[in-house]
Structure 1
Amino acid sequence: MEKPPAPSSAEVIAKSPKQKKKVILPSLVGTSYTNQDELRAKYKSMNQLLFSRLSNDSSGVTSYYKDVSREMKTKYRQLLSEEDESVKRDRIESWRMGSDLDLHRLSVRSAMDAVVECLKDWWTQEMNDRESDGKFEKFGPIAEFVEPLVIITGRGNHSSNGLSKIKISVLAYLKKANYIYDENVGNVSVLGRR
């Protein structure tokens, strides 16, 4: 028995279990998104479509639409997570190539993963260079061989309280891990470690 053709990437075709009626919804999967805002807008419009159908449903398929909505939410979160991971990898790679560590468009969790990874690499490089110099004990807590690590956290303009959640998390981590840093508007410069 031959499988029916898969729906195009532009739509999802499903049949209501109680009525053999086709429901056509735009798909989140198979479409490339330039950023999270575009994906968020697509998800929001799809949810509005579903909820309008839920409120106008008199045929008893409300539970079906709720299931579709749940499935859509799961796909949406998965796509956001995949994009977040990809952006994080790109930002870490850019930092390794010599630019600042820019945390814009990352979730707090991914931003902190990137910060921890870059700080570890940054301070390890400093320690290796100190060891190569031969007089390890003559150096203080400020990095002598590597440039300060500039972490761009953003100002928090898009946060509800006007404070950057990422910056708050970065500062808390730096303090806890005994890093020496200068806090600036929209970024933090890590100078060394106690």
Structure 2
Amino acid sequence: MIEINDTLISEEILENHFVCNLQACKGVCCVEGDAGAPVEEEEVEILERIYHKVAPYLSEQGRKSIEKQGVAICNYHEEWETPLIEGGECAYAVRDDKGTVLCGIEQAYREGKIDWKKPISCHLYPIRLKEYTSFTAVNYERWSICKDACILGRKLQIPIYQFVKEALIRKFGEEWYEQLEIAKSLISKK
């Protein structure tokens, strides 16, 4: 583990490779699983504020699910997550003409309708954060459906922390990321 400020970072994010391969997986991470994507408490307010601009990008089922459940739901752990469509895919998921699942929030962002890309948990994936009283754990979450992303990452020699650089900077800041790169170079010299 590496400690930077109030974070403990798994060395796995420095050592393992990952690059999303949407051609191979078709975005199944937004469909599989038994819960929605984690949403930070302050992101619920953002989702409420931007929903009217995101709604046109969503499927009819997605809009109905959000209108019924809310822009985010509080689970039994008292943590926020994206709502699902009938217990299945994320309500914000949309499909392109090839059947690849994309994020409706990110589509609105890319077209300049909103200035917020998507929940940080989605942006950081395959990194997952776990909040503790005195620190945040920054871990690599392995999921079998992402094997093609691991293969592509190894082929391109892109470690996880570089693949999610923009998201890590968004969450923790430039200085934190620079410290992570320094830690990586020190580990590499060992």
TM-score by length of 2: 0.24
Structure number with the bigger relative contact order (C-alpha 8 A, sep ≥ 6) is 2
Q: Look at both structures and tell me which one has the larger radius of gyration over its CA atoms.
A: 1
TM-score by length of 1: 0.23
